[in-house]
Structure 1
Amino acid sequence: MIKIIGSLLIILSSGLLGIIMSRKYSIRPKELKKLRFSLQMLETEIVYGATPIPYACYNVGCKSDTPWNNFFLAVSENLLKRRFFSMEEAWNQAMQDSLSNSYISAIDRELLESFGRVIGKSDIDDQKKLFKLFYTQLEHHEKAAEDERRNNEKMYKSMGFLLGAAILIILV
């Protein structure tokens, strides 16, 4: 009886390990969709509401989901307290401070950094074009993240249970 319980514990624990490892592949697409939604709110605030960027970021931060709420609130705080001389510096510092625990990839961070370099540096028509270009690039990242999720999530879950079975066979 003890051997059966031990065997089940080995298989279940390795299966749970596989599920935990696969989790990051399912969270990234969700975070990218939340980013798109937050940036659409930011576009509305800046382009159509003519709200200054620090206040627009604050408004978006209040309405966004984690981790983007902390990010936009940090951008707003950096700008309102005049900690930095440029929007780019405030944007990058907010990325370092608030996105360290997120599941976005290095490529996503580069895209976000490039967006931070140009936001607020042109007139409203150019801002519209900038947002449209960013949405197109973000859509490609979302598709890649979804493909990666489809491929790797199932693999890690299966490998977790198979690893547990392999350990069980070796021990028996």
Structure 2
Amino acid sequence: MYLKILGLMIIFISCVYIGKFMASSYEKRYIELLTFINFIDYFETEISYTSTPVIEILDSLTDKIKSPFKEIIIGVSEELTSYGYRPLCTVWEENLYNNKNKLSLSQEDLELLIYFGNILGTTDMENQKKYFTVIKSRLQVQLTQAYEKKLKYTKLFKELGIIIGLFIVILII
């Protein structure tokens, strides 16, 4: 009898955990987009007001940015420092794809991040600011969509986990 109750509790808790796990990807995507927008803001400020080279900005950002972007920035920074002859856009894209599994971003989000790496350091300061504005506005659209999905699906998956857990428990009883 006690084993049956313990088993039912384990099943219920597992279902609730699976629901929360599925909901967390929507929350992570929203946070990651917000983090990257802040990253672009910081980058834009550094380029505009201090005219700091890209490699130095990346080095200074490693302490200020959160994971999973921190690993990407560190990878890009180390690779550019070690192998300075490789183009920044190539190094950026490789590090983005190497850390893709750690990100909860959609394919469209990743394409925007790749685009950011492709234009980074390729033009003068004024055009760079214009590109940053365009990327940030497109990321804002993605952020709004991510927020709406977060509100919708987070609640859905959490409740679905509870309901399925209860259904299985009732079915077994």
Answer whether TM exceeds 0.5 for this pair: yes
User: In structure 2, how many angstroms separate the alpha carbons of the residues matched to 1:16 and 1:100?
Assistant: 21
- Secondary structure, counterpart of 1:62 in structure 2: coil
Structure 1 residues without counterparts, runs of 5 or longer: none
1:97 match: 98
Structure 1 residue 62 displacement after superposition: 2.3
Listed as ranges, the matches of 1:6-17 within 5 Å are 6-17=7-18
Structure 1 residue 152 displacement after superposition: 0.8
Structure 1 residue 92 displacement after superposition: 0.6
- Secondary structure, counterpart of 2:21 in structure 1: helix
2:159 is aligned with 1:158? yes
User: In structure 1, how many angstroms separate the alpha carbons of the residues matched to 2:165 and 2:26?
Assistant: 21
Structure 1 residue 4 displacement after superposition: 4.1
Give deviations 1:130-153, integer Å, cap 9, x for gaps: 111111011011111111111111
Give deviations 1:99-158, integer Å, cap 9, x for gaps: 431212221111111111111111100011011111101101111111111111111111
RMSD between aligned residues: 1.7
Aligned identity (percent) is 27
User: Structure 2: which amino acid aligns with 1:53?
Assistant: V
User: Structure 2: which amino acid aligns with 1:33?
Assistant: L
Give the count of matched residue pairs. Answer: 172
1:75 match: 76
Structure 2 residues without counterparts, runs of 5 or longer: none
2:127 match: 126
User: In structure 1, how many angstroms separate the alpha carbons of the residues matched to 2:95 and 2:48?
Assistant: 22
TM-score scaled by length of structure 1:
0.91
User: In structure 2, how many angstroms separate the alpha carbons of the residues matched to 1:163 and 1:84?
Assistant: 55
User: In structure 1, how many angstroms separate the alpha carbons of the residues matched to 2:99 and 2:110?
Assistant: 12
2:170 match: 169
User: In structure 1, how many angstroms separate the alpha carbons of the residues matched to 2:164 and 2:102?
Assistant: 28
2:35 is aligned with 1:26? no
Deviates more, 1:127-136 or 1:34-43: 34-43
The verdict on how the C-alpha distance between 1:98 and 1:49 changes in structure 2, with shifts beyond 3 A counting, is farther
2:47 match: 46
- Secondary structure, counterpart of 1:168 in structure 2: helix
Structure 1 residue 11 displacement after superposition: 2.0
User: In structure 2, how many angstroms separate the alpha carbons of the residues matched to 1:85 and 1:69?
Assistant: 20
User: In structure 2, how many angstroms separate the alpha carbons of the residues matched to 1:60 and 1:54?
Assistant: 10
Give the conservation status (yes or no) of the 8 Å contact 1:83–1:90.
no
Deviates more, 1:146-155 or 1:94-103: 94-103
- Secondary structure, counterpart of 2:121 in structure 1: coil
Extract structure 1 runs of 4+ deviating beyond 6 A.
Answer: none
1:85 match: 86
Deviates more, 1:145-154 or 1:73-82: 73-82
User: Structure 1: which amino acid aligns with 2:101?
Assistant: S
The verdict on how the C-alpha distance between 1:36 and 1:42 changes in structure 2, with shifts beyond 3 A counting, is same
Structure 1 residue 167 displacement after superposition: 1.2
